[in-house]
């Protein structure tokens, strides 16, 4: 998440960062034993146990797609209907699209 002014001024940096994080996530998913060995001393969990937990982890950093935006809009509409949001929120207005 970024402030709108930063996102507008540095969209290229955000696109590069999201791509890099996605690549790291893919590598981590495919190399859980190496990740566990690296993290084990820091978190104090034995590497074999940590590897089991990491293999159960869901990975996947990617830009928000239309399905996610639609689901978030449904939630925002529900919150507004319940009176928990004082005015309607248009989720798509807050989402920066890659390349923009």
pLDDT tens readout for residues 34-48: 999 999 999 999 999
Range of the domain at 9: 1-62
Domains: count for the chain: 2
Residue 100 has pLDDT above 70, yes or no: no
* Together in a domain, 81 and 51: no
Q: Nearest Cα to 11, choosing from 61, 60, 63? A: 63
3-state DSSP call for residue 72? helix
Name the average pLDDT for the chain: 90
Same domain, 11 and 48: yes
Instruction: Tell me how far apart the alpha carbons of residues 29 and 40 are, in angstroms, rounded to a whole number.
Output: 16
Structure tokens at 26: 């893919």
Claim to verify: residue 86 and residue 53 sit in the same structural domain: no
| Mean pLDDT within 20-44 | 93
pLDDT in tens, 58-80: 777 777 889 999 999 999 999 99
Closest CA to 50 of 37, 59, 60: 37
pTM above 0.95, yes or no: no
The answer on 56 and 73 residing in a single domain is no
50 and 67 housed in the same domain = no
């Amino acid at each position: 998440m970024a402030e709108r002014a930063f996102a507008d001024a540095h969209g290229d940096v955000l696109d590069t960062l999201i791509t890099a994080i996605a690549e790291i996530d893919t590598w981590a998913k495919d190399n859980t034993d190496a990740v566990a060995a690296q993290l084990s001393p820091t978190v104090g969990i034995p590497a074999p146990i940590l590897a089991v937990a990491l293999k159960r982890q869901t990975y996947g950093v990617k830009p928000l797609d239309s399905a996610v935006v639609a689901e978030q809009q449904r939630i925002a509409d529900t919150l507004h209907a319940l009176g928990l949001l004082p005015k309607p929120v248009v989720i798509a207005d807050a989402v920066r699209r890659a390349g923009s």
